[in-house]
Each structure stands twice: as C-alpha cells, then as structure tokens.
Structure 1
Amino acid sequence: MTWQTGAAGFVVGLLISLITTPAGVSGAVFLLPVQLSLLHVPSPAVTPTNLLFNVVSGPGALIRYRRSGQLTGPLTRLLLAGTLPGIVLGACLRVFAVPGPRVFRLIVAVVLLPLGLWLIVRALRPGIPDRRPLSRRATLVLGVAVGTVGGIYGIGGGSLLGPILAGRGVPMATIAPAALACTFLNSIAGAVTYGLLALTTGGDIAPHWTLGLLCGAGGLLGGYLGARLQPRLPERALRLLLGGLATALAALYLTQAAR
C-alpha cells in the first residue's frame, strides 16, 4: 500500500464519519464503495476491513455520547441482543454462501429508498403523524436481521437501524447513540469472527490491517467531532440528514447493481 492510498483512507474516513455520525451512522456503508473502487480492496477482504474501520472509529463518537449521558438505554440493550448473534451468523454466511455483492445492493436499495424519502417528507412536513413504534419483539427481530446483513457485508447496521427507527418516530437523540453502540460492538464481533475464519478457510478474507486502521483513525476524529455537533442540530435537520443519507446510499447501490 502506498502512502497516498493510506492518506486518502484517513481523509475519507474522517469526512464520512463527520457527516454521518450525527445521524447515528458510522459511515462504513459509504466507505465500502470507496474501498472497492478507489482504494482497490478485493472482495471479500473488503468486508472485514470495513468492520475494522468501525472498531477503530467507533470510540470517538461513543466517548462523546457517554460524557453527555446519551449512551445507555433500553433501546441499545435490546438491539444488541439481536444484532450480536446476527453478525456472527452473517460472517459465516459471507464466507461460505454469499460471495457476491449485487443482490445485497439491490435489497438494501429497496429497503432504504422508501425509508429515506419518507424521512425527508416527514421532516419537511411536520404535521404527518409518526408510524406506531416497534414492539420489543419486533425490535429484537429487527436487530437479528440487521446484524446478519451487517455480518455479510461489513456494515455495523446503523445505516439500516437509523432510518427504520426514525421512520417509527424514535427521537434522533435516542437513535444515534444506540445505533452507533450497536455498530461498534457488532463490528468487534464480526472482525473476530472473520479473523477466526481466516485461520481455517482459504481465500482473501483477512482484513487489510494498515488501510483499515488508517481509515478508522480518520473516522475516530470525525466521529468525535460529529457527536459534538449532533446536540446542536435540531431534530428536523437530523431527520433530513438521515433521510438524505439513506436515499443517497440507495441510489448509489441501485446504480452499482445495474452495471
């Protein structure tokens, strides 16, 4: 890896985390296409490299949220109960059964596009009532599903959890720390699982350590700054940001899947 690639990874990680952290998204979903197209990380190694980014970058935002008293809560515990076993299952499926990204991109786009547009409309027209909140059982099932998808494709799950929960009327101040805590702990579990699988399975499935650490270092700084910014942004602006991120990601994945 050249120093230019490492520097680009640091800057990209910083900018992505700075923009996405206030909405409860680590930014790994946006780093994934950058790794594939710009930094030329091969598949499936790109998945554990993305998880490594989450592990290194996550504490920046979480430290800030902990200092402000926003980190602990029942939503975080409930989501973790579902996402942690899901991400281990997803990592195993990624290595042994689901090597291609095209179907994943289509599924994520189909899920995120209407959610993103709904959040944008909901933010621009505050009179629209929120949908009914998810029950505890439905939230647990959502956690398992998101964890499995995250394990397969190297995302901690915040990019999916955030729009779904926001669409159900959960306040952004509750969503952001819960989603980022899930992303961080899920990524640790996923990275460890991939590391163990790399010892017993052929193929390029180990993370690119240097690049993942440099991207994560940028994300660590960007995440801390983004978490400091979040309380200063009104709920409407945060929902617009999350809706815009979800819509942009859906459009990106639809474009990539159509190639």
Structure 2
Amino acid sequence: MDAWTALAGVGAGLSIATMTAPVGVSGAVFLLPVQLSVFHVPSPAVTPTNLLFNVVAGPGALWRYRTSGQLHGPLSRHLVLGTLPGVVLGAVVRVFAFPGTGVFRLLIAAFLLPMGVWLCARTFFPVRTRAARPAVPSPKSITVLAAVVGVIGGIYGIGGGSLIGPLLVGRGLPIARVAPAALAATFATSVVGALAYTLLAAVSSGDVAPDWELGLACGAGAMIGGYLGARLQPRLPETVLRLLLGASATGVGSLYAAQALS
C-alpha cells in the first residue's frame, strides 16, 4: 500500500468515526462502500477488513465513554453476550455459503431504510401520549436481537451498532445509553470476528484474510475520530442525536439499495 492510499484510509476513518461515534456506530457500515468502490478490496476479504477497522477504531470512543461513566450498566453485557456467538456463525456462513455481497446489501437496505425514516419522522413528529410510547425491550429480547445482529455483522463486517442502535432507540432507549453499549458490543464482536476470519483463511481458498494495511490505516484514523465523536456527544441534544442516527440509517440504506439494484 502506497503512502497516498494510507493517508486516504486514515482520512476516511477519521471523518466517518467523528460523525458516527456520538450515536453508537463505529462507522464500518459507511466504510464498506468506500472499501469496495474506492480501495477495491475483494470479497469476502472486505468483511474481515471492516472488522479489523472496528478493532483498531473502537478503543478511542470506548475510552472516552468509560472515563465519563457511560459504559456502566447491564445493556453492554446483554449485547456482548448475544453478538459474540452470532459473529462466529456469520463468519462461517459468509466464507462457505455466501461469499458475494449483493443479497446482504439488499437485506440491510430493507432494514435500515424504514428504520431511518421512522426515526426521522418521530424526531420531527414525536408521540406525546404516554400510552403510545414504545415498550422498552426486555434483557432477554435484547440478547436475542444482539445474536441476530451478530450473525449479520459476521457476514457483512459492519459490527452491528448501525443495526441495533436505531432499533433500541426506536423502542424507547436514550441514545446516551445505547451508543456506548452498541460500540462495546461492536468492538467485542469485531475482535472475535477478525480472529474467526483469520482462522478460516487457513482452511479455505480465495480472498478471506483481511487487508491488514488498509484496515489498520482506516482504523487508526477512526480511533482519533471516535474519541472526538464521543466527546461531542454530551454537547448534542437528544433530538439532534436521534435525527443524526435516523439520517445515517436512511442514507446508508439508500446507498446499499442503489448498489444492490444496480
């Protein structure tokens, strides 16, 4: 990898993580199209490269959330317990059953687009009646949901924060609570997922191992951006954070739908 590519990777990771860390998204969901279209990372190697990005990027935001006391609480544990077994299963499915990306782009678009539009609509037109407020999911349902998200993250290399974050916020949890937990789950999932792909690369053919240089470069930029984004979060009102999360989900869903249908 030449110096310009490395600088581009650092810049991409820095800018993406600064915008996404305040709402609990590592940025891998935005980085994936950049890897495919700009850096031309082959499939399925793009998935473990994204997971490697999450591993390097995560400590910046997590350190900030930990020092501010936002990582304490059971939500992080429930998410991690669900996502860890899910990501291993997802990695196996991706390598041996579905090495392509088209179907999963369409599936993620089908999930993110309506969720993003719904979050934006609720931000502009909030439901004020107590009876109509969504019920907060139980710990068991959160763990089951996290397992499903872990499988998707293992298949597609997006960590899962961009999927579980909008859903939990839409069900009534505040972003200040969801964001640190989602990033913690994304980090733990990505560590296990990257190791799983590294082991699978030894027993399978094709481009399975991560692009180490690009993943480290993008992750280094995102580590700084994640810390900056986590520092920014307390200064943003809940309404702005909800709108940012909804707009992010809508934008990524639209992009993936266009790519899947093109």
The TM-score by the shorter chain falls in which range? over 0.9
SS in 2 for 1:7: helix
Q: 1:148 matched to which residue of 2?
A: 151
What is the CA-CA distance between 1:4 and the residue it aligns to?
1.2
What is the CA-CA distance between 1:130 and the residue it aligns to?
3.2
8 Å CA contact 2:23, 2:165 repeated in 1: yes
Question: What is the CA–CA distance in structure 1 between the aligned matches of 2:133 and 2:36, rounded to whole Å?
Answer: 37
User: 1:135 and 2:152 equivalent?
Assistant: no
SS in 1 for 2:14: helix
Q: 1:80 matched to which residue of 2?
A: 80
Q: What is the identity percentage for the equivalent residue pairs of Structure 1 and Structure 2?
A: 63
User: 1:158 and 2:165 equivalent?
Assistant: no
Pair 1:127–1:232, CA change in 2 (3 A): same
Q: 1:245 matched to which residue of 2?
A: 248
Letter matched to residue 238 of structure 2: E
Please list every run of at least 4 consecutive aligned residues from structure 1 whose deviation after the TM superposition is greater than 6 angstroms: none
Question: What is the CA–CA distance in structure 1 between the aligned matches of 2:201 and 2:260, rounded to whole Å?
Answer: 28
Question: What is the CA–CA distance in structure 1 between the aligned matches of 2:17 and 2:108, rounded to whole Å?
Answer: 20
Q: 1:19 matched to which residue of 2?
A: 19
User: 1:106 and 2:109 equivalent?
Assistant: no
Once the two structures are superposed, residues 100-137 of structure 1 have per-residue CA deviations (whole angstroms, 9 ceiling, x without a partner) of: 11111111111111111111111112335432111222
Letter matched to residue 203 of structure 1: G
User: 1:55 and 2:58 equivalent?
Assistant: no
Q: Which moved more, 1:103-112 or 1:157-166?
A: 103-112
Q: Superposed, which structure 2 residues align to 1:163-178 within 5 Å?
A: 163-178=166-181
Once the two structures are superposed, residues 12-67 of structure 1 have per-residue CA deviations (whole angstroms, 9 ceiling, x without a partner) of: 00000000000100000000000000011111111100000000000000000000
Once the two structures are superposed, residues 231-258 of structure 1 have per-residue CA deviations (whole angstroms, 9 ceiling, x without a partner) of: 1100000000000000001100110011
SS in 1 for 2:158: coil
8 Å CA contact 1:61, 1:220 repeated in 2: yes
Letter matched to residue 143 of structure 1: A
Q: 1:70 matched to which residue of 2?
A: 70
Q: Which moved more, 1:127-136 or 1:91-100?
A: 127-136
8 Å CA contact 2:127, 2:133 repeated in 1: no
Q: 1:184 matched to which residue of 2?
A: 187
What is the CA-CA distance between 1:72 and the residue it aligns to?
2.0
Q: 2:89 matched to which residue of 1?
A: 89
Letter matched to residue 232 of structure 1: R
Letter matched to residue 24 of structure 1: G
SS in 1 for 2:202: helix
8 Å CA contact 1:130, 1:167 repeated in 2: no
- In structure 1, list runs of 5 or more residues that go unmatched: none
TM-score by length of 1: 0.98
Letter matched to residue 69 of structure 2: G
Q: 1:202 matched to which residue of 2?
A: 205
Aligned-residue CA RMSD (Å): 0.9
What is the CA-CA distance between 1:141 and the residue it aligns to?
1.2
What is the CA-CA distance between 1:158 and the residue it aligns to?
0.1
- In structure 2, list runs of 5 or more residues that go unmatched: none
Query: What is the number of equivalent residue pairs in this alignment?
Result: 259
Question: What is the CA–CA distance in structure 1 between the aligned matches of 2:237 and 2:101, rounded to whole Å?
Answer: 36
Question: What is the CA–CA distance in structure 1 between the aligned matches of 2:96 and 2:181, rounded to whole Å?
Answer: 30
Q: 2:124 matched to which residue of 1?
A: 124
